[in-house]
Structure 1
Amino acid sequence: MPIIEAAPSAGKKLFKALVIGAAGLMALSMLSPIVIISAGERGVMTTFGKPDEVVHEPGIHFRIPLAQTMHLMDVRIQKGEGEGDAASKDLQSVHTRIAINYHLDPKQVVNVFKNIGPSTDIAADRIIIPAAQEAVKAITARFTAEELISRRTEVRDAIGALLREKMQRHGLLLDEFAIVNFAFSRSFSEAIEAKVKAEQEKLKAERDLQRIEVEAKQKVASAKAEADALALQRQQITSDLLHLRKIENEREAIRKWDGKLPQVTGGTVPFIQVGGKD
Protein backbone atom coordinates (compact mmCIF):
# COMPACT_ATOMS: atom_id res chain seq x y z
CA MET A 1 0.00 0.00 0.00
CA PRO A 2 2.68 2.61 0.80
CA ILE A 3 4.34 1.87 -2.59
CA ILE A 4 1.09 2.50 -4.46
CA GLU A 5 0.64 5.87 -2.74
CA ALA A 6 4.24 6.92 -3.44
CA ALA A 7 4.00 6.50 -7.22
CA PRO A 8 1.30 9.16 -7.81
CA SER A 9 3.10 11.50 -5.47
CA ALA A 10 6.38 11.17 -7.45
CA GLY A 11 4.50 11.73 -10.74
CA LYS A 12 2.90 14.90 -9.47
CA LYS A 13 6.24 16.23 -8.31
CA LEU A 14 7.81 15.55 -11.74
CA PHE A 15 4.95 17.23 -13.61
CA LYS A 16 5.13 20.23 -11.27
CA ALA A 17 8.86 20.51 -11.87
CA LEU A 18 8.38 20.44 -15.65
CA VAL A 19 5.71 23.16 -15.50
CA ILE A 20 7.91 25.34 -13.31
CA GLY A 21 10.88 24.81 -15.61
CA ALA A 22 8.88 25.70 -18.74
CA ALA A 23 7.47 28.78 -17.04
CA GLY A 24 10.96 29.80 -15.97
CA LEU A 25 12.30 29.45 -19.50
CA MET A 26 9.40 31.46 -20.88
CA ALA A 27 9.91 34.16 -18.28
CA LEU A 28 13.63 34.21 -19.00
CA SER A 29 12.95 34.57 -22.69
CA MET A 30 10.49 37.40 -22.13
CA LEU A 31 12.76 39.17 -19.70
CA SER A 32 15.95 38.66 -21.71
CA PRO A 33 17.26 41.94 -23.13
CA ILE A 34 19.26 40.16 -25.87
CA VAL A 35 17.89 39.05 -29.25
CA ILE A 36 19.91 37.18 -31.86
CA ILE A 37 18.95 37.49 -35.55
CA SER A 38 20.35 34.69 -37.72
CA ALA A 39 21.58 34.90 -41.32
CA GLY A 40 18.68 34.83 -43.75
CA GLU A 41 16.46 36.76 -41.37
CA ARG A 42 15.63 40.39 -40.64
CA GLY A 43 14.06 41.81 -37.50
CA VAL A 44 11.22 44.23 -36.88
CA MET A 45 11.11 45.72 -33.38
CA THR A 46 7.77 46.63 -31.88
CA THR A 47 7.35 48.79 -28.80
CA PHE A 48 4.04 48.04 -27.11
CA GLY A 49 2.86 46.70 -30.49
CA LYS A 50 4.01 49.65 -32.62
CA PRO A 51 6.69 48.66 -35.21
CA ASP A 52 9.81 50.72 -35.63
CA GLU A 53 10.86 51.87 -39.11
CA VAL A 54 14.34 50.39 -38.74
CA VAL A 55 15.14 47.04 -40.36
CA HIS A 56 17.37 45.08 -38.00
CA GLU A 57 20.17 43.11 -39.69
CA PRO A 58 21.54 39.71 -38.57
CA GLY A 59 23.49 39.87 -35.30
CA ILE A 60 22.96 40.64 -31.61
CA HIS A 61 20.40 43.30 -30.66
CA PHE A 62 19.09 44.67 -27.38
CA ARG A 63 15.50 45.31 -26.38
CA ILE A 64 13.55 46.48 -23.36
CA PRO A 65 12.01 43.40 -21.75
CA LEU A 66 8.20 43.27 -21.72
CA ALA A 67 7.98 46.60 -23.60
CA GLN A 68 9.70 45.59 -26.84
CA THR A 69 9.48 42.48 -29.00
CA MET A 70 11.68 41.50 -31.93
CA HIS A 71 9.78 39.83 -34.79
CA LEU A 72 11.93 37.73 -37.09
CA MET A 73 11.21 37.84 -40.84
CA ASP A 74 12.57 35.17 -43.20
CA VAL A 75 14.17 36.71 -46.33
CA ARG A 76 15.46 33.46 -47.82
CA ILE A 77 14.17 32.08 -51.10
CA GLN A 78 10.79 30.41 -50.79
CA LYS A 79 9.19 27.97 -53.21
CA GLY A 80 5.58 27.99 -54.27
CA GLU A 81 3.34 26.15 -56.72
CA GLY A 82 -0.15 26.87 -57.92
CA GLU A 83 -2.64 26.01 -60.62
CA GLY A 84 -5.77 27.47 -62.10
CA ASP A 85 -8.11 27.61 -65.08
CA ALA A 86 -8.16 30.29 -67.75
CA ALA A 87 -9.29 30.82 -71.34
CA SER A 88 -7.15 31.39 -74.44
CA LYS A 89 -7.75 34.01 -77.11
CA ASP A 90 -9.73 31.50 -79.17
CA LEU A 91 -11.80 30.60 -76.07
CA GLN A 92 -10.15 27.25 -75.41
CA SER A 93 -10.14 26.14 -71.76
CA VAL A 94 -6.60 26.09 -70.36
CA HIS A 95 -5.53 24.56 -67.06
CA THR A 96 -2.17 26.01 -66.07
CA ARG A 97 0.23 24.81 -63.40
CA ILE A 98 3.09 27.10 -62.38
CA ALA A 99 6.07 27.06 -60.03
CA ILE A 100 7.85 30.10 -58.60
CA ASN A 101 10.78 30.98 -56.36
CA TYR A 102 10.52 34.24 -54.45
CA HIS A 103 11.82 36.01 -51.39
CA LEU A 104 10.98 38.92 -49.17
CA ASP A 105 12.72 42.17 -50.09
CA PRO A 106 14.97 42.88 -47.07
CA LYS A 107 14.47 46.63 -47.54
CA GLN A 108 10.67 46.24 -47.36
CA VAL A 109 10.54 44.07 -44.24
CA VAL A 110 8.80 46.70 -42.10
CA ASN A 111 6.15 47.45 -44.74
CA VAL A 112 5.48 43.74 -45.26
CA PHE A 113 5.15 43.27 -41.49
CA LYS A 114 2.66 46.15 -41.31
CA ASN A 115 0.56 45.23 -44.34
CA ILE A 116 0.75 41.43 -44.54
CA GLY A 117 2.12 40.02 -41.31
CA PRO A 118 5.21 38.32 -39.95
CA SER A 119 4.85 35.05 -41.89
CA THR A 120 5.79 34.43 -45.53
CA ASP A 121 3.02 31.79 -45.63
CA ILE A 122 0.51 34.59 -45.15
CA ALA A 123 2.18 36.47 -48.03
CA ALA A 124 1.84 33.44 -50.27
CA ASP A 125 -1.86 32.99 -49.46
CA ARG A 126 -2.83 36.65 -49.63
CA ILE A 127 -0.58 38.01 -52.36
CA ILE A 128 1.31 35.49 -54.49
CA ILE A 129 -1.38 32.93 -55.31
CA PRO A 130 -4.05 35.51 -56.29
CA ALA A 131 -1.47 37.56 -58.24
CA ALA A 132 -0.25 34.48 -60.09
CA GLN A 133 -3.78 33.44 -61.05
CA GLU A 134 -4.59 36.93 -62.26
CA ALA A 135 -1.37 37.15 -64.30
CA VAL A 136 -1.96 33.76 -65.93
CA LYS A 137 -5.51 34.68 -66.93
CA ALA A 138 -4.45 38.06 -68.30
CA ILE A 139 -1.62 36.68 -70.45
CA THR A 140 -3.24 33.48 -71.73
CA ALA A 141 -6.12 35.60 -73.04
CA ARG A 142 -3.67 37.26 -75.46
CA PHE A 143 -2.67 34.00 -77.20
CA THR A 144 -4.52 31.27 -79.03
CA ALA A 145 -4.29 27.75 -77.67
CA GLU A 146 -1.78 26.75 -80.35
CA GLU A 147 0.33 29.84 -79.64
CA LEU A 148 0.45 28.93 -75.94
CA ILE A 149 2.29 25.78 -77.02
CA SER A 150 4.41 27.09 -79.90
CA ARG A 151 5.32 30.37 -78.13
CA ARG A 152 5.65 28.93 -74.64
CA THR A 153 8.81 30.90 -73.77
CA GLU A 154 7.20 34.19 -74.76
CA VAL A 155 4.10 33.35 -72.73
CA ARG A 156 6.21 32.41 -69.70
CA ASP A 157 8.19 35.66 -69.86
CA ALA A 158 5.02 37.74 -70.16
CA ILE A 159 3.37 36.05 -67.16
CA GLY A 160 6.58 36.37 -65.15
CA ALA A 161 6.90 40.09 -65.92
CA LEU A 162 3.31 40.82 -64.89
CA LEU A 163 3.59 38.70 -61.74
CA ARG A 164 6.89 40.34 -60.80
CA GLU A 165 5.27 43.77 -61.06
CA LYS A 166 2.35 42.76 -58.84
CA MET A 167 4.61 41.19 -56.19
CA GLN A 168 6.96 44.17 -56.00
CA ARG A 169 4.07 46.36 -54.90
CA HIS A 170 3.90 44.27 -51.72
CA GLY A 171 7.63 43.99 -51.02
CA LEU A 172 8.09 40.53 -52.56
CA LEU A 173 10.69 39.72 -55.22
CA LEU A 174 10.25 37.05 -57.89
CA ASP A 175 13.41 35.01 -58.49
CA GLU A 176 12.25 32.36 -60.95
CA PHE A 177 9.04 31.54 -62.74
CA ALA A 178 8.19 28.42 -64.72
CA ILE A 179 5.14 27.00 -66.44
CA VAL A 180 5.02 23.39 -65.32
CA ASN A 181 2.24 22.39 -67.69
CA PHE A 182 -0.52 23.58 -70.00
CA ALA A 183 -3.53 21.24 -70.13
CA PHE A 184 -6.31 21.60 -72.69
CA SER A 185 -9.60 19.84 -73.33
CA ARG A 186 -9.42 16.29 -74.68
CA SER A 187 -10.92 17.21 -78.05
CA PHE A 188 -8.44 20.03 -78.58
CA SER A 189 -5.49 17.87 -77.54
CA GLU A 190 -6.55 15.21 -80.06
CA ALA A 191 -6.87 17.88 -82.77
CA ILE A 192 -3.38 19.15 -82.01
CA GLU A 193 -1.96 15.62 -82.18
CA ALA A 194 -3.67 15.04 -85.54
CA LYS A 195 -2.31 18.31 -86.91
CA VAL A 196 1.22 17.55 -85.74
CA LYS A 197 1.04 14.10 -87.32
CA ALA A 198 -0.21 15.56 -90.61
CA GLU A 199 2.61 18.12 -90.64
CA GLN A 200 5.17 15.39 -89.97
CA GLU A 201 3.80 13.26 -92.81
CA LYS A 202 3.81 16.28 -95.13
CA LEU A 203 7.41 17.04 -94.21
CA LYS A 204 8.39 13.41 -94.84
CA ALA A 205 6.67 13.48 -98.26
CA GLU A 206 8.51 16.68 -99.19
CA ARG A 207 11.83 15.16 -98.17
CA ASP A 208 11.10 12.00 -100.17
CA LEU A 209 10.24 14.12 -103.22
CA GLN A 210 13.48 16.08 -102.85
CA ARG A 211 15.42 12.82 -102.59
CA ILE A 212 13.76 11.43 -105.72
CA GLU A 213 14.49 14.62 -107.65
CA VAL A 214 18.13 14.53 -106.60
CA GLU A 215 18.48 10.87 -107.58
CA ALA A 216 16.85 11.57 -110.96
CA LYS A 217 19.22 14.45 -111.61
CA GLN A 218 22.15 12.23 -110.69
CA LYS A 219 21.01 9.55 -113.16
CA VAL A 220 20.56 12.13 -115.93
CA ALA A 221 24.01 13.55 -115.25
CA SER A 222 25.52 10.05 -115.27
CA ALA A 223 23.80 9.14 -118.55
CA LYS A 224 24.89 12.40 -120.13
CA ALA A 225 28.47 11.84 -119.07
CA GLU A 226 28.41 8.31 -120.53
CA ALA A 227 26.91 9.56 -123.81
CA ASP A 228 29.52 12.30 -124.05
CA ALA A 229 32.25 9.70 -123.51
CA LEU A 230 30.87 7.45 -126.28
CA ALA A 231 30.56 10.40 -128.65
CA LEU A 232 34.16 11.33 -127.96
CA GLN A 233 35.28 7.77 -128.66
CA ARG A 234 33.40 7.74 -131.98
CA GLN A 235 35.11 10.95 -133.01
CA GLN A 236 38.50 9.41 -132.30
CA ILE A 237 37.90 6.23 -134.43
CA THR A 238 39.39 6.75 -137.96
CA SER A 239 40.23 4.42 -140.92
CA ASP A 240 43.89 4.53 -140.00
CA LEU A 241 43.04 3.48 -136.46
CA LEU A 242 40.94 0.57 -137.72
CA HIS A 243 43.76 -0.58 -140.07
CA LEU A 244 46.23 -0.38 -137.17
CA ARG A 245 43.94 -2.47 -134.95
CA LYS A 246 43.69 -5.10 -137.76
CA ILE A 247 47.45 -5.33 -138.09
CA GLU A 248 47.83 -5.64 -134.32
CA ASN A 249 45.30 -8.48 -134.24
CA GLU A 250 47.10 -10.37 -137.06
CA ARG A 251 50.44 -10.03 -135.30
CA GLU A 252 48.93 -11.31 -132.08
CA ALA A 253 47.54 -14.33 -133.92
CA ILE A 254 50.96 -15.08 -135.51
CA ARG A 255 52.66 -14.76 -132.12
CA LYS A 256 50.33 -17.29 -130.61
CA TRP A 257 50.57 -19.81 -133.58
CA ASP A 258 52.53 -22.97 -132.74
CA GLY A 259 53.48 -23.80 -136.37
CA LYS A 260 51.01 -26.66 -136.74
CA LEU A 261 48.26 -26.69 -139.27
CA PRO A 262 44.77 -27.46 -138.07
CA GLN A 263 43.71 -31.16 -138.38
CA VAL A 264 40.64 -31.12 -140.60
CA THR A 265 38.95 -33.59 -142.95
CA GLY A 266 38.18 -32.26 -146.38
CA GLY A 267 37.92 -28.69 -147.35
CA THR A 268 40.61 -26.28 -148.20
CA VAL A 269 43.67 -26.03 -146.06
CA PRO A 270 43.79 -22.57 -144.54
CA PHE A 271 46.79 -20.57 -145.52
CA ILE A 272 48.27 -17.77 -143.48
CA GLN A 273 50.48 -15.37 -145.28
CA VAL A 274 53.53 -14.87 -143.09
CA GLY A 275 55.62 -12.80 -145.33
CA GLY A 276 56.23 -11.69 -148.89
CA LYS A 277 58.93 -10.73 -151.33
CA ASP A 278 59.72 -7.16 -151.92
Structure 2
Amino acid sequence: MATKIFDLMRKLGLGLVAAGGVANLTLYNVDAGHRAVIFDRFRGVQDVVVGEGTHFLIPWVQKPIIFDCRSRPRNFPVTTGSKDLQNVDVTLRLLFRPAMLQLPRIYTTIGEDYDERVLPSIAMESLKSIVARFDSEELITQRELVSGQLSADLTERAATFGIILDDVSLTHLTFGKEFLAAVEMKQVAQQEAERARFMVEKAEHEKKATIIATEGDSKAAELIAGALISVGDGLVELRKLEAAEDIAAQLSQSRNVTYLPLGQAKFLPPSQ
Protein backbone atom coordinates (compact mmCIF):
# COMPACT_ATOMS: atom_id res chain seq x y z
CA MET A 1 0.00 0.00 0.00
CA ALA A 2 2.78 2.43 0.95
CA THR A 3 4.61 1.57 -2.23
CA LYS A 4 1.58 2.39 -4.36
CA ILE A 5 1.15 5.78 -2.60
CA PHE A 6 4.84 6.58 -3.12
CA ASP A 7 4.63 5.70 -6.84
CA LEU A 8 1.54 7.86 -7.19
CA MET A 9 3.24 10.84 -5.54
CA ARG A 10 6.31 10.39 -7.70
CA LYS A 11 4.25 10.35 -10.85
CA LEU A 12 2.32 13.40 -9.66
CA GLY A 13 5.55 15.25 -8.94
CA LEU A 14 6.95 14.39 -12.33
CA GLY A 15 3.72 15.60 -13.89
CA LEU A 16 3.94 18.92 -12.03
CA VAL A 17 7.54 19.36 -13.07
CA ALA A 18 6.64 18.64 -16.66
CA ALA A 19 3.70 21.02 -16.46
CA GLY A 20 5.94 23.70 -14.98
CA GLY A 21 8.46 23.21 -17.75
CA VAL A 22 5.76 23.47 -20.38
CA ALA A 23 4.41 26.62 -18.68
CA ASN A 24 7.88 28.19 -18.71
CA LEU A 25 8.15 27.45 -22.42
CA THR A 26 4.74 28.90 -23.26
CA LEU A 27 4.80 32.02 -21.05
CA TYR A 28 6.98 35.15 -21.12
CA ASN A 29 6.93 38.47 -19.22
CA VAL A 30 7.21 42.03 -20.52
CA ASP A 31 8.36 44.37 -17.75
CA ALA A 32 7.16 47.94 -17.19
CA GLY A 33 8.50 50.37 -19.75
CA HIS A 34 9.29 47.58 -22.20
CA ARG A 35 7.61 46.19 -25.32
CA ALA A 36 7.99 42.88 -27.17
CA VAL A 37 8.15 41.88 -30.81
CA ILE A 38 7.34 38.28 -31.76
CA PHE A 39 9.48 36.40 -34.25
CA ASP A 40 7.68 33.45 -35.80
CA ARG A 41 9.78 30.78 -37.52
CA PHE A 42 7.15 30.32 -40.22
CA ARG A 43 5.74 33.85 -40.66
CA GLY A 44 8.69 36.02 -39.68
CA VAL A 45 8.46 39.15 -37.47
CA GLN A 46 4.88 39.89 -36.49
CA ASP A 47 3.48 43.42 -36.88
CA VAL A 48 1.84 43.32 -33.46
CA VAL A 49 3.69 45.02 -30.57
CA VAL A 50 3.11 43.21 -27.27
CA GLY A 51 2.60 45.38 -24.18
CA GLU A 52 3.48 44.88 -20.52
CA GLY A 53 2.45 41.74 -18.64
CA THR A 54 2.58 37.94 -19.02
CA HIS A 55 1.80 36.48 -22.43
CA PHE A 56 1.61 33.10 -24.22
CA LEU A 57 3.69 31.88 -27.14
CA ILE A 58 4.18 28.69 -29.11
CA PRO A 59 7.35 26.93 -27.91
CA TRP A 60 10.12 26.58 -30.48
CA VAL A 61 7.96 28.30 -33.13
CA GLN A 62 7.79 31.79 -31.59
CA LYS A 63 10.43 33.90 -29.85
CA PRO A 64 9.89 37.25 -28.01
CA ILE A 65 12.37 40.12 -28.56
CA ILE A 66 12.14 42.59 -25.68
CA PHE A 67 12.85 46.31 -26.26
CA ASP A 68 13.44 48.92 -23.56
CA CYS A 69 11.13 51.84 -24.50
CA ARG A 70 12.17 54.16 -21.67
CA SER A 71 14.19 57.32 -22.39
CA ARG A 72 17.91 56.69 -22.11
CA PRO A 73 20.84 59.13 -22.33
CA ARG A 74 23.91 58.96 -24.55
CA ASN A 75 26.86 61.36 -24.79
CA PHE A 76 28.88 62.01 -27.94
CA PRO A 77 32.16 63.97 -27.59
CA VAL A 78 33.20 65.55 -30.90
CA THR A 79 36.09 67.75 -32.04
CA THR A 80 35.07 69.84 -35.03
CA GLY A 81 35.67 73.19 -36.71
CA SER A 82 33.72 76.45 -36.53
CA LYS A 83 32.95 78.87 -39.35
CA ASP A 84 36.11 80.87 -38.57
CA LEU A 85 38.21 77.66 -38.65
CA GLN A 86 38.66 77.33 -34.89
CA ASN A 87 38.85 73.89 -33.28
CA VAL A 88 35.89 73.28 -30.97
CA ASP A 89 35.46 70.43 -28.47
CA VAL A 90 31.75 69.71 -28.09
CA THR A 91 29.85 67.10 -26.08
CA LEU A 92 26.36 66.32 -27.35
CA ARG A 93 23.82 64.69 -25.03
CA LEU A 94 20.82 62.83 -26.45
CA LEU A 95 17.83 61.47 -24.56
CA PHE A 96 16.26 58.87 -26.86
CA ARG A 97 13.75 56.01 -27.05
CA PRO A 98 12.29 53.87 -29.84
CA ALA A 99 8.90 54.57 -31.36
CA MET A 100 6.76 51.73 -29.99
CA LEU A 101 4.62 51.21 -33.09
CA GLN A 102 7.74 50.98 -35.26
CA LEU A 103 9.49 48.29 -33.20
CA PRO A 104 8.86 45.52 -35.78
CA ARG A 105 10.43 47.67 -38.54
CA ILE A 106 13.33 48.66 -36.26
CA TYR A 107 14.07 45.01 -35.44
CA THR A 108 13.74 43.93 -39.09
CA THR A 109 15.81 46.71 -40.70
CA ILE A 110 18.30 47.72 -37.98
CA GLY A 111 18.30 45.22 -35.11
CA GLU A 112 18.13 45.26 -31.34
CA ASP A 113 21.25 47.46 -31.11
CA TYR A 114 19.61 50.17 -33.19
CA ASP A 115 21.06 52.96 -31.00
CA GLU A 116 24.63 51.79 -31.61
CA ARG A 117 24.06 51.56 -35.35
CA VAL A 118 22.22 54.85 -35.91
CA LEU A 119 22.84 57.48 -33.22
CA PRO A 120 26.65 57.91 -33.45
CA SER A 121 26.62 58.52 -37.21
CA ILE A 122 23.71 60.99 -37.32
CA ALA A 123 24.89 62.78 -34.16
CA MET A 124 28.41 63.35 -35.51
CA GLU A 125 27.20 64.45 -38.94
CA SER A 126 24.54 66.85 -37.68
CA LEU A 127 26.79 68.33 -35.00
CA LYS A 128 29.63 69.06 -37.43
CA SER A 129 27.22 70.52 -39.97
CA ILE A 130 25.52 72.86 -37.49
CA VAL A 131 28.71 74.03 -35.73
CA ALA A 132 30.28 74.90 -39.09
CA ARG A 133 27.53 77.50 -39.65
CA PHE A 134 28.63 79.66 -36.69
CA ASP A 135 31.88 81.37 -35.79
CA SER A 136 33.48 80.99 -32.36
CA GLU A 137 31.83 84.02 -30.76
CA GLU A 138 28.39 83.04 -32.06
CA LEU A 139 28.77 79.54 -30.61
CA ILE A 140 29.11 81.18 -27.18
CA THR A 141 26.64 84.06 -27.45
CA GLN A 142 24.01 82.17 -29.49
CA ARG A 143 24.22 78.80 -27.82
CA GLU A 144 20.44 78.38 -27.60
CA LEU A 145 20.12 79.00 -31.34
CA VAL A 146 22.80 76.39 -32.05
CA SER A 147 21.04 73.85 -29.82
CA GLY A 148 17.69 74.61 -31.45
CA GLN A 149 18.98 74.04 -34.98
CA LEU A 150 20.80 70.89 -33.90
CA SER A 151 17.69 69.54 -32.17
CA ALA A 152 15.50 70.16 -35.23
CA ASP A 153 17.98 68.50 -37.58
CA LEU A 154 18.63 65.47 -35.36
CA THR A 155 14.95 64.95 -34.52
CA GLU A 156 14.06 64.84 -38.19
CA ARG A 157 16.87 62.44 -39.08
CA ALA A 158 16.26 60.13 -36.12
CA ALA A 159 12.54 59.90 -36.93
CA THR A 160 13.37 58.25 -40.26
CA PHE A 161 14.85 55.34 -38.29
CA GLY A 162 11.95 55.12 -35.82
CA ILE A 163 13.82 56.83 -32.98
CA ILE A 164 12.32 59.57 -30.82
CA LEU A 165 14.61 62.22 -29.29
CA ASP A 166 13.20 63.67 -26.07
CA ASP A 167 16.10 66.07 -25.51
CA VAL A 168 19.11 67.39 -27.43
CA SER A 169 21.61 69.58 -25.58
CA LEU A 170 25.22 70.76 -25.67
CA THR A 171 26.74 69.96 -22.28
CA HIS A 172 30.35 70.90 -23.04
CA LEU A 173 31.86 73.55 -25.32
CA THR A 174 35.54 74.57 -25.28
CA PHE A 175 38.00 76.08 -27.75
CA GLY A 176 41.71 75.67 -28.50
CA LYS A 177 44.56 77.64 -26.92
CA GLU A 178 44.94 79.84 -30.01
CA PHE A 179 41.36 81.03 -29.75
CA LEU A 180 41.64 81.74 -26.02
CA ALA A 181 44.81 83.77 -26.62
CA ALA A 182 43.09 85.71 -29.42
CA VAL A 183 40.11 86.45 -27.17
CA GLU A 184 42.41 87.73 -24.42
CA MET A 185 44.28 90.00 -26.86
CA LYS A 186 40.98 91.33 -28.20
CA GLN A 187 39.76 92.11 -24.69
CA VAL A 188 42.98 93.99 -23.92
CA ALA A 189 42.67 95.97 -27.16
CA GLN A 190 39.05 96.84 -26.36
CA GLN A 191 40.03 98.04 -22.89
CA GLU A 192 42.81 100.21 -24.33
CA ALA A 193 40.39 101.65 -26.91
CA GLU A 194 37.87 102.46 -24.17
CA ARG A 195 40.56 104.14 -22.11
CA ALA A 196 41.70 106.26 -25.08
CA ARG A 197 38.10 107.25 -25.83
CA PHE A 198 37.62 108.28 -22.19
CA MET A 199 40.75 110.46 -22.25
CA VAL A 200 39.61 112.17 -25.46
CA GLU A 201 36.15 112.85 -24.01
CA LYS A 202 37.71 114.17 -20.79
CA ALA A 203 39.94 116.57 -22.74
CA GLU A 204 36.97 117.79 -24.78
CA HIS A 205 34.94 118.42 -21.63
CA GLU A 206 37.82 120.33 -20.02
CA LYS A 207 38.22 122.40 -23.18
CA LYS A 208 34.51 123.26 -23.20
CA ALA A 209 34.65 124.19 -19.49
CA THR A 210 37.62 126.51 -20.10
CA ILE A 211 35.83 128.16 -23.02
CA ILE A 212 32.69 128.67 -20.95
CA ALA A 213 34.66 130.17 -18.01
CA THR A 214 36.53 132.52 -20.35
CA GLU A 215 33.31 133.65 -22.00
CA GLY A 216 31.82 134.25 -18.53
CA ASP A 217 34.75 136.41 -17.42
CA SER A 218 34.59 138.36 -20.67
CA LYS A 219 30.88 138.90 -20.28
CA ALA A 220 31.34 140.09 -16.67
CA ALA A 221 34.03 142.57 -17.74
CA GLU A 222 31.73 143.90 -20.45
CA LEU A 223 28.91 144.35 -17.95
CA ILE A 224 31.15 146.20 -15.48
CA ALA A 225 32.52 148.45 -18.22
CA GLY A 226 29.02 149.20 -19.42
CA ALA A 227 27.91 150.03 -15.89
CA LEU A 228 30.83 152.43 -15.45
CA ILE A 229 30.03 154.20 -18.69
CA SER A 230 26.33 154.55 -17.92
CA VAL A 231 26.71 155.64 -14.28
CA GLY A 232 29.78 157.82 -14.74
CA ASP A 233 31.72 159.16 -11.70
CA GLY A 234 28.90 158.30 -9.30
CA LEU A 235 29.88 154.65 -9.14
CA VAL A 236 33.52 155.60 -8.46
CA GLU A 237 32.44 157.93 -5.62
CA LEU A 238 30.26 155.14 -4.20
CA ARG A 239 33.21 152.76 -4.21
CA LYS A 240 35.33 155.45 -2.42
CA LEU A 241 32.70 155.87 0.31
CA GLU A 242 32.49 152.10 0.78
CA ALA A 243 36.29 151.93 1.08
CA ALA A 244 36.36 154.82 3.61
CA GLU A 245 33.66 153.12 5.65
CA ASP A 246 35.69 149.91 5.79
CA ILE A 247 38.83 151.83 6.87
CA ALA A 248 36.92 153.69 9.60
CA ALA A 249 35.48 150.43 10.91
CA GLN A 250 38.96 148.95 11.17
CA LEU A 251 40.45 152.05 12.87
CA SER A 252 37.64 152.20 15.43
CA GLN A 253 38.82 148.88 16.83
CA SER A 254 42.37 150.21 17.45
CA ARG A 255 43.30 151.48 20.96
CA ASN A 256 45.80 154.11 19.72
CA VAL A 257 43.26 156.12 17.67
CA THR A 258 41.18 159.01 19.16
CA TYR A 259 38.38 160.80 17.28
CA LEU A 260 37.79 164.63 17.69
CA PRO A 261 35.16 166.89 16.20
CA LEU A 262 35.87 168.27 12.75
CA GLY A 263 38.48 171.13 12.89
CA GLN A 264 39.80 170.19 16.32
CA ALA A 265 41.97 167.25 15.30
CA LYS A 266 45.49 167.31 16.58
CA PHE A 267 48.14 164.78 17.35
CA LEU A 268 47.94 163.30 20.80
CA PRO A 269 50.55 161.19 22.44
CA PRO A 270 49.72 157.53 22.72
CA SER A 271 47.80 156.66 25.85
CA GLN A 272 49.87 155.17 28.63
Residues 87 and 141 of structure 1 are in contact (CA less than 8 Å); yes or no, is this contact kept in structure 2? Answer: yes
Q: Give CA-to-partner distance per residue, 1:115-165, whole Å, 9 cap, x none.
A: 3334xxx33321111111112333344455666566555444433333222
Counterpart residue identity of residue 117, structure 2:
R
Aligned pairs (5 A) from 1:93-112: 94-104=87-97, 105-112=99-106
Counterpart residue identity of residue 43, structure 1:
R
Q: Are positions 1:202 and 2:196 aligned together?
A: no
Cα distance in structure 2, aligned partners of 1:218 and 1:232: 21
Partner SS for 1:111 = helix
Match of 1:82 among 76, 87, 90: 76
Q: Give CA-to-partner distance per residue, 1:157-204, whole Å, 9 cap, x none.
A: 4333332222121122331221622434x5555445434433443333
Cα distance in structure 1, aligned partners of 2:181 and 2:255: 91
Q: Are positions 1:35 and 2:29 aligned together?
A: yes
Residues 150 and 168 of structure 2 are in contact (CA less than 8 Å); yes or no, is this contact kept in structure 1? Answer: no
Distance 1:251 1:208, change over 3 A: closer
Residues 30 and 65 of structure 1 are in contact (CA less than 8 Å); yes or no, is this contact kept in structure 2? Answer: no
TM-score scaled to structure 2, two decimals?
A: 0.63
Q: Are positions 1:46 and 2:38 aligned together?
A: yes
Residues 36 and 67 of structure 2 are in contact (CA less than 8 Å); yes or no, is this contact kept in structure 1? Answer: yes
Match of 1:178 among 153, 156, 170: 170
Structure 2 gap segments, 5+ residues each: 1-16, 264-272
Cα distance in structure 1, aligned partners of 2:184 and 2:81: 20
Residues 96 and 164 of structure 2 are in contact (CA less than 8 Å); yes or no, is this contact kept in structure 1? Answer: yes
Q: Are positions 1:217 and 2:208 aligned together?
A: yes
Cα distance in structure 1, aligned partners of 2:238 and 2:30: 115
Percent identity at matched positions? 21
Return the offset for 1:85. Answer: 3.8
Cα distance in structure 1, aligned partners of 2:109 and 2:116: 13
Cα distance in structure 2, aligned partners of 1:193 and 1:259: 75
Counterpart residue identity of residue 111, structure 1:
R
Residues 35 and 63 of structure 1 are in contact (CA less than 8 Å); yes or no, is this contact kept in structure 2? Answer: no
Return the offset for 1:81. Answer: 1.7
Partner SS for 2:46 = strand
Residues 83 and 134 of structure 2 are in contact (CA less than 8 Å); yes or no, is this contact kept in structure 1? Answer: yes
Match of 1:123 among 81, 90, 114: 114
Partner SS for 1:244 = helix
Residues 35 and 69 of structure 2 are in contact (CA less than 8 Å); yes or no, is this contact kept in structure 1? Answer: no
Q: Are positions 1:164 and 2:155 aligned together?
A: yes
Counterpart residue identity of residue 91, structure 2:
I
Cα distance in structure 2, aligned partners of 1:170 and 1:178: 22
Residues 30 and 54 of structure 2 are in contact (CA less than 8 Å); yes or no, is this contact kept in structure 1? Answer: yes
Distance 1:250 1:192, change over 3 A: closer
